[in-house]
Structure formats: structure tokens, C-alpha cells
Amino acid sequence: MLQISWFHLVLIILLFLFPLILWKKRSFKTSNYYKLPPGPWKFPLIGNLHQLALSSSSSLPHRSLRDLSKKYGPVMKLHFGEVLTVVISSPEAAKEVLHTHELVFAQRPLTLGLEAMSFDHPGGLVSSPYGEYWRQMRKICVVELLSPKRVMSFRSVREEQVWSLIESIFMSRKSNSSLIAINFSEMIISMTIATISTVVYGKKCKGHDEYVSSLKELLTFSTGFTLADCFPSVKLLAHVTGIKAALKRIRQKISKILDAIVDEHKEKIKHTRVTTDETSEEDDLLDVLLRLQQSSELKFGLTTNHIKTVIMDIVGAGGETTATALEWAMSEVIRNPRVLEKAQAEVRNALEGKVKIKEVDVQKLHYLECVIKETLRLHPPAPLLGRESRERCQILGFDIPYKTKIVINAWALGRDPGIWDNADCFEPERFLDSSVDLKGTDFEFVPFGAGRRMCPGIPFSFPNMELVLAQLLYHFDWQLPNGGKMEELDMSEEYKVSCRRRNDLYLVATPVMPFIN
């Protein structure tokens, strides 16, 4: 993210490259009849980068952009270097982008990070441009990888991994008579990674920890706020800043690990009796992709590099989103004892006497569902949703030129006091009698996006979040270490791959429900 320390470095680099930038600088040649959205005054060359870098929330762009939009409106123009960017901060404007003119904005801006996540043109579901190839990849994800039947086939995987989490918390408490705090954040991340690994590969493969670490590092470059992304016409910047070399190093490391995983699965498929056009419920997602690779029904061939890219999309998005949401859900529940008491009462009354809880057991826990929705309202894992205009268009009467970068501030939408009562308060009850859901049709609430580019993994991740939270509240009572006041829990944010807690969440768990010895 933009920080004052490297902002000074940016200025030095820009001054050094000033003649080159003037020569190569690409700008939108907007005619006098263009009615662009309002926005703050910009500096030559750097545009509005200084306003993000010098903001009190400089490391949290969703907050900085929300503060600016209060002054300049829900459709606001900014220049990040040479990149014209329009920030969307109201449901009406979001609907224009995600629904009314959905096809115009069906493209994602291609950052250096996203480009590096693609091993073969035109990329995976996240990075590929909108078109026939993208539609094929979307269909593969929705119909083959994340269909209701396929998601159901992995139910036992999710249940086993959640039970392993519960057992590990129980054993850590059992081995210590004193109230020793556990690192809840670390445990949740480990559980979600293990779940995604089993679903995608069938097991935790050799080199997986290094792969996940490298993937997180790669994803930090995908936000579009790097210096090279702000000046795409000056190719030299990607080399001068070291971004190009870093991305190449990370990509090569990931590629080597994935090659080994794919080769192992190819050998396994060779020795099975299942035909290449047939998939089994026992297949992991990589097996499914490799069998599809042999299919004659695909319009575009599915190369091994395409498969590696899809794997990165799933692991990168799936694990991070679920872990972040669960971390914030537990933080909010702990900080609000009234909600904790109410959620625990619902779970324990409905599931009394059970030991190992199944997904089917939690489907009717309505208040728990509201707790997760309220968490996603206040803490969308991806607070800024990126799009790019494929042609000239209008949003609420303002002209949007071709190739304009669009940033939908999902975080600001979820905290708009004009839409939500007590917008900054954690009140799950607001969803009890509300028709607002996660399907992308309510534009004041888009934690997973909407339209064609909406996250396809909701049917997998949401039930998993419900199951984890239900078991945590059912089996344990919770408190802060050293008798800390729950209402004073630190809720500071950190924006990297997603918007997570700045500091890990440490909690004391006391078992209260039966366990299998």
C-alpha cells in the first residue's frame, strides 16, 4: 500500500525519470464535451497519489477513499499516476456498474500482480479478459468445480477439518491447567488452508506451505497500487522498483511446486479405470480439471498452465476470504457480549446433546447466519472491487471514458449511515427480517461482488463459515487473556491480500460441551 516512507522514494524516482515520463506519458484525451465525475485537485504526474499517501488512513485505502467521497460524492474521479480511476461509493452507482452496464464493466484491470498469476494467456477466471475464453472458465468453475453436487461431495472434508480445529483447541486447553491463550488467527488460517488443500489436491502436498506463503506474497502485488501499476506506460518502472524481478522469482517458485503437484495427479489418473471424460465424486478439483483437459467438448483447449492458474485462483481467493471472515466474525462476537450470549444460546439449544456437528445441523441457525452477514457488512474481505470500462459509458450522468479503472468501495457501502441504522455498530438483528442477501442483487451489500464477475465460491465458503462458528460457540466459552474487557478488544485493520486484523486474535477457550475421547 501507499506509505509516506516510500512516497518520498516515489517522488525521487519520478523526478529522475521526468523526461521519460513526459515523453511516454499516456493520458485520456478528454474532449470538452466529456462530463467527468468530480474529484480533488491533482498534482502533475503523480495525480492524487499524495492524497492517499498523506491520509491519516494511508495504509487503509478503503477508508481514505470513503473520506474523500464524503466531500466529492458517490461517483468520484481520481488519478493514480496516469491511471484515471472512478471510485463508486453508493448503491445507486454500484448498480449502474454491476447491473445496468454490467457488460461494459465486465473486465478487471490487469495489474502486474494479476498478470503474474497467469501461467498462460489469457489466464484464469480472475485475470482473463471478458470474452469467450472467460465464459468457458466461468462455466467450468460453476458447473464442474463448484456445482451444488460437487460442493456437497466435499462436505465430509469440511466437517473433518473443522472437527480437527475443535480437537486442537480442546487439547491445548486440556494440557494446560491455567488459562493459556491460543492464537485463534493462526489456528483459523491453518484450518482453512488444510480444507482448501484437501479439496483442491486431495492432501497437503510437498512444498504446500512454501506455495501458500509465495502465493500470499504474489497477491499483495495485485491491488493495483504499486508504482509500476500507476504508470503502466513507463515499463522501466517495473524494473527500477524491483517489482518485475520479485514477481518473476515468486512465480517461478510457485510454478515449480505446482508442476510437481500436477504431474503426481496425472500419474494417479493414468492408473485409474475411470475414463477421461468421466469424473467421480471422490475426485479432488485438480482431478476434475485434468479429466476436463482430455475432453473434446471444450471450445478452448485447457493447457496445464491454465490448470495451474485456476488452482492459484481457488487457493488464493478461497482460503484468504474464509479465514479473514471468520477472524472478524469471532472478533466482533467477542467484542459484543450480548451477541455472543444470544448466538451461543441459539446454537446450544438447537444442537444440545450432539458431539460432532454436521453441516446439516447448522442450516436452520438463523441468528448465526445473521452474525456472519453482519460481519461481512462491516468487514468485507475484499473492501475494494476492481473493474475496467470496455467502452465509453455513463454512470449517474457522468461520462466514463474507455479503459477507465473502476473501484467499488464495498466497505463504504456497508457502512453508509444513509442506508444502515447505527452503521458502525455490530447488530446482527438487522438481518433477521431482511431480504438482503449475498446473491449480488442488493447493491448496498456486495462483500463478494455482483454480476458476471461475482465470486463463484460462495456456496462452498459460506456453509464452511457457519459450521466453524457454530462449533466454536457450541463447544467453548470464550474470553480475552488476562481478564481483558471484551468491549475493548483492538479491532485495528491491515490491508494486504485482504483486509485482515492488524494483530493476531488471542483468546482463552473453556470447554463446556461433550467431546469424544
Range name among 61-75, 115-129, 481-495, 500-514 with the lowest pLDDT average: 115-129
Of residues 211 and 10, more confidence is placed in 211
Domain that holds residue 423: 32-511
- When the pLDDT of each residue in the chain is averaged and rounded to a whole number, the result is 87
Up-side HSE of residue 207: CA atoms within 13 Å toward CB?
A: 13
Q: Report the greatest alpha carbon distance in the chain.
A: 76
Lowest mean pLDDT among 293-297, 393-397, 422-426, 464-468: 293-297
Highest mean pLDDT among 98-107, 168-177, 260-269: 98-107
Q: Are 154 and 148 in contact (CB under 8 A)?
A: no
Let me know: does 512 contact 344? Beta carbons within 8 Å: no
- Nearest 5°: the CA angle 165, 212, 122 is 130
Whether residue 74 is contained in a domain is answered as yes
Residue 403 belongs to some domain of the structure: yes
Q: Point out the least confidently predicted range of 142-151, 207-216, 474-483, 498-507.
A: 207-216
pLDDT in tens, 288-319: 999 999 887 788 888 899 999 998 888 887 78
Going by their DSSP bridges, the two strands 405-409 and 83-88 should be labelled as parallel
In eight-state DSSP terms, residue 271 is: T
The verdict on residue 342 lying in a domain is yes
Nearest-10 crossing angle of helices 184-201, 155-174: 150
| CA dist., res. 157 & res. 24, Å (int) | 53
Greatest mean pLDDT among 66-70, 225-229, 350-354: 66-70
What confidence tens digit (pLDDT) does each residue in 64-99 have? 999 999 999 999 999 999 999 999 999 999 999 999
In a domain, 15, yes or no: no
Mean of pLDDT values over 158-162: 94
Which pLDDT score is estimated for 176?
A: 66
How far is the C-alpha of 324 from the C-alpha of 512, rounded, in Å?
Answer: 26
For residue 17, the model assigns a pLDDT of: 55
Tens of pLDDT, residues 164-182: 999 999 988 776 656 789 9
Q: Residue 197 phi/psi, 5° resolution?
A: -60, -45
Which cell numbers hold the place of 126?
480472475
3-class SS letters over 363-404: CCCHHHHHHHHHHHHHCCCCCEEEEECCCCEEECCEEECCCC
Q: 232: which DSSP letter? A: T
Question: Is 230 annotated in some ligand binding site?
Answer: no
Rounded Cα gap, residues 393 and 13, in angstroms: 35
Tell me the CATH number at 428. 1.10.630.10
Contact 367, 346 (CB under 8 A): yes
* CA torsion, ordered 427, 428, 430, 436, to nearest 10 deg: 140
Query: At 414, is the pLDDT very low, low, confident or very high (cuts 50, 70, 90)?
Result: very high
Residue 4 placed within a domain: no
pLDDT at residue number 12: 45
Residue 43 φ/ψ, nearest 5 degrees: -80, 150
Residue predicted with more confidence, 189 or 211: 189
The answer to whether residue 397 sits within a structural domain is yes
What angle separates helix 184-201 from helix 285-293, to the nearest 10 degrees?
30
pLDDT value, residue 273: 53
Cell of 469: 462458528
Domain contains 201: yes
Please tell me the total count of domains within the chain: 1
The predicted pLDDT at position 79 comes to: 94
Query: pLDDT grade, residue 24 (50/70/90)?
Result: very low
Q: How confident is the model at residue 203 (pLDDT cuts 50, 70, 90)?
A: confident
Give the whole-angstrom CA distance, residue 500 versus residue 380. 9
Q: Kindly state whether residue 11 falls inside one of the protein's structural domains.
A: no
Element of type H or E holding 408: strand 405-409
Beta strands 75-80 and 83-88, pairing class: antiparallel
**Residue 28: pLDDT band by 50, 70, 90 thresholds?**
very low
